[in-house]
Amino acid sequence: MQKLEGKIYSIFALSAILILLSNCSGERQEKIKEQRPNIVFIMSDDHASRAISCYDGTLNQTPNIDRIASEGAIFTNSFVGNSICGPSRATMITGKFSHKNGFLANYRSKFDGSQQTLPKLLKANGYNTAIVGKWHLGTTPTGFDYWNVFPDQGDYYNPDFIDNGDTVRLNGYATNLVTNLAINWLNEKRNPDQPFMLFVHHKAPHRNWMPDTAKLDMYDGHEFPLPFNFKGDFSDRGKASAEADMGIWKTMSWSHDMKFTDYPTEWEHYKPDGEWHAKRYPQVELGRMTSAQRALWDDYYESRNAEVKEGLKSGATSLEEHIQWRYQRYMHDYLATISSVDDNVGRLLDYLEANGLDDNTIVVYTSDQGFYLGENGWFDKRFMYEQTLRTPFVMKYPGQIKPGTKVDKFIMNIDYMPTLLSYAGVGVPQDIQGRSFHTLLNEQPVSDWRNSIYYHYYMFPGTHSVKRHFGVRNERYKLIRFYHDIDEWELYDLQEDPNELKNVYDDPNYQGIVAEMKEVLRANQEQYEDSYELAMDYLENNRW
């Protein structure tokens, strides 16, 4: 009898505890729901980490991007799965590699907007969702309550925007305008009863690097040191590097890139611009300017260009000197566009603070990929080499991410979607290939994190002639296979050769490593369900 009584008491006590717990978890859930963070995801286009002062600091200063890192976290090993615009953006909003989300290459692919995406899942779970700026996925944005995006790549001056379907031209400089639209949506258009997710996607610092008139002389006279292998010696690399078309001399145009309205045709090294570039600069890029903008622009460039032309005409400037001058102009323009991006990051942060939104808002700054700033004599991206495999990523979330956090683990752009879903309290669907890295930011970071990353680039034949390739990178080594019109493997020992100039794939001393890295490649391809055979199938059936 006593025993039975005891049992009844314990069942009673247990139920009481359960009821208490369930009430508490109900309240807690409500609270979590109430406090679901807002998300401001700022992304620029082609921003190399080296051009952000919290990553490097030798080239330029970006105090506002740095502010996000110092108030939150900087990720020092952040990688993309396919270093090109559209594919990278598709990866971010699906949490899947290109072969799974179907967007393999700019232009050829069209994003299938009917699939599951980050904005759609957040919207379905009560978020108010918006995107302003660059979209570049070929099809109409889906999953956004509000979208106001550039057609295709967009323009730097007085750009067109597609405002929820209607094309409208706005006067001003693209980076400022995108931020105006963002602030305007926050102020007037969003639903204050919902948490929000806002994508602020800048055009800058994408080619052709047109600074705001207010920034034209900001780096005037500044001498940027030439980076490694500026002359482009690929004798110890392979054909893919040698045959790429992205050299500062070989590929950059006088007009579109170097900002000359006319150039020295009689000089022995004269290299004509392609027809498209020759027309685009005067007709579109300068053609869109107001006369006031144009006057400031000409005032800066024309006098300086005249000096360059004079030097070439008289023979006082050698080819080598001229190529170095081109690098200075490139860096000058590229970094000046970044200065505007940084100012505008500051404007948004200030807005959040001034409106009491900063405490409960996650702010991310990233880029769709990295960029070559003259390393190997290049600009552009696409290759799996470090400068473009990496992309900057800083994130703050007051109260959740400790200020000054530094994460060295390998994160990828497939992880952004599950990370943001986790912070928003939305379940991460099974088919997402990335993994939430909020666990790396906990007091006790998880220990079973990936120690290698996978990469696959498809856009060949295409602009800049970077051959198709896939590969893996771990802490010390990188293995790449270039395929299509070649079949070449490259292996780099990043500890001995951080600039990846000596391919040791055939070196007898590295045969054990080759075998190990092939196993890492096999395991990654198995995990992500990709393969050489699938890549061949895309090729043979002309599927991009």
CA atoms lying within 13 Å on the CB side of residue 38: 23
Q: Does 273 bind ligand SGN (CB under 6 A)?
A: no
- Nearest-5° angle of CA 102, CA 105, CA 110? 55
Instruction: Count CA within 13 A, CB hemisphere, residue 225.
Output: 6
Picked from ligand SGN, Ca ion, none, the partner binding residue 207 (CB below 5 to 8 A depending on kind) is ligand SGN
Task: Give the whole-angstrom CA distance, residue 236 versus residue 248.
Answer: 21
- Per DSSP, helices labelled H in 46-153 are 63-71, 85-94, 98-101, 118-124
List, as one string, the DSSP characters of 337-366. Answer: HHHHHHHHHHHHHHHHHHTT-GGGEEEEEE
Residue choice 380, 386, 415, 493 for contact with ligand SGN (CB under 6 A): 380
Q: Cα dist. 77→85, 124, 174, 440 in Å?
A: 19, 32, 30, 13
Length in residues, the chain = 544
Q: How far is the CB of 209 from ligand SGN (least distance, A)?
A: 9
Residue 296 burial (CB count, 10 A): 15
- Among 39, 41, 45, 420, contact with ligand SGN (rule: CB under 6 A): 45
Burial class (CB in 10 A: 0-12, 13-18, 19+), 23: exposed
Judged by beta carbon, residue 85 or residue 258, the one nearer Ca ion is 85
Does 380 contact Ca ion by CB under 5 A?
no
Q: Is 465 in the site for ligand SGN (CB under 6 A)?
A: no
Asked whether position 45 contacts Ca ion by CB under 5 A, the answer is yes
Closest-approach residue to ligand SGN (CB): 85
Least Cβ distance, residue 56 to ligand SGN (angstroms)? 21
Is the Cβ of residue 71 or residue 155 nearer to ligand SGN in the bound state?
155
Q: Report which residue type is found at 316.
A: A
How many residues bind Ca ion, per CB under 5 A?
Answer: 4
The residue range among 1-9, 179-187, 206-214, 287-295 that interacts with ligand SGN, by the rule CB under 6 A, is 206-214
**Rule CB under 6 A: is residue 85 a binding residue for ligand SGN?**
yes
DSSP run (H or E) holding 168: strand 166-169
Residue 466 lies near Ca ion (rule: CB under 5 A): no
Calpha distance 324→225 (Å, rounded): 10
Half-sphere exposure of residue 480, counting CA atoms within 13 Å on the CB side?
Answer: 28
Peptide bond into 205 cis (omega under 30): yes
- The binder of 202, among Ca ion, ligand SGN, none, by C-beta within 5 to 8 A per type, is none
CB of 169 to ligand SGN, least distance (A): 20
**What sections of 199-290 are H helices per DSSP?**
239-242, 275-280
The H or E element spanning position 132 is: strand 128-133
If one asks whether residue 149 binds ligand SGN (CB under 6 A), the answer comes out as: no
Asked whether position 43 contacts Ca ion by CB under 5 A, the answer is no
* Interface pick for ligand SGN out of 207, 309, 409, 502 (rule CB under 6 A): 207
- Would you say 108 or 450 has its CB closer to ligand SGN? 108
CA angle (141 as vertex; 139, 147 as ends), nearest 5: 135
Binding flag, residue 469, ligand SGN (CB under 6 A): no
Measuring CA to CA, how many Å separate 424 from each of 42, 66, 201, 350, 500? 17, 24, 21, 23, 40
Residue 515 CB, nearest approach to ligand SGN (Å): 35
Q: Which stretch binds ligand SGN (CB under 6 A): 22-30, 156-164, 200-208, 309-317?
A: 200-208
Q: Phi/psi zone of residue 479: left (φ > 0), alpha (ψ -120 to 50 degrees), beta?
A: beta
When asked if residue 358 is in the footprint of Ca ion (CB under 5 A), the reply is no
Query: Which of ligand SGN, Ca ion, none binds 380 (CB below 5-8 Å, type-dependent)?
Result: ligand SGN
The reply to whether 46 sits near ligand SGN by the rule CB under 6 A is yes
Binding marks (x or -) toward ligand SGN, 523..542, rule CB under 6 A?
Answer: --------------------
Q: Which stretch binds ligand SGN (CB under 6 A): 201-209, 314-322, 496-504, 514-522?
A: 201-209
Decide whether 340 or 369 has the Cβ nearer to ligand SGN: 369
Site for Ca ion in 322-351 (CB under 5 A): none
Within the chain, what is the greatest distance between any pair of CA atoms? 113
Closer of 85 and 535 to ligand SGN (Cβ) = 85
Out of 76, 158, 463, 465, the residue judged to bind ligand SGN by CB under 6 A: 463
In angstroms, the CA 463 to CA 206 distance is 15
The token pair at 41 is: 């995801």
| Residue 364, both tokens | 């991310």
What is residue 376's DSSP assignment? G
Q: Which does 106 bind (CB under 5 to 8 A by kind): Ca ion, ligand SGN, none?
A: ligand SGN
- Cα gap 426→120, rounded to integer Å: 12
Q: Which is closer to Ca ion, CB of 108 or CB of 402?
A: 108
Piece in contact with ligand SGN (CB under 6 A), picked from 204-212, 259-267, 345-353, 399-407: 204-212
Distance CA 447, CA 470 (A): 27
* Binding-site member from 342, 368, 500, 530 for Ca ion (CB under 5 A): 368
End-to-end CA distance of the chain: 76
CA distance 130 to 186: 10
**Site for Ca ion, residues 72 to 111, rule: CB under 5 A:** 85
Query: What track of x and - describes contact with ligand SGN for positions 102 through 141 (by CB under 6 A)?
Result: ----x-----------------------------x-----
Site residues (CB under 5 A) for Ca ion? 45-46, 85, 368
Site residues (CB under 6 A) for ligand SGN? 45-46, 84-85, 106, 136, 153, 206-208, 256, 380, 463-464
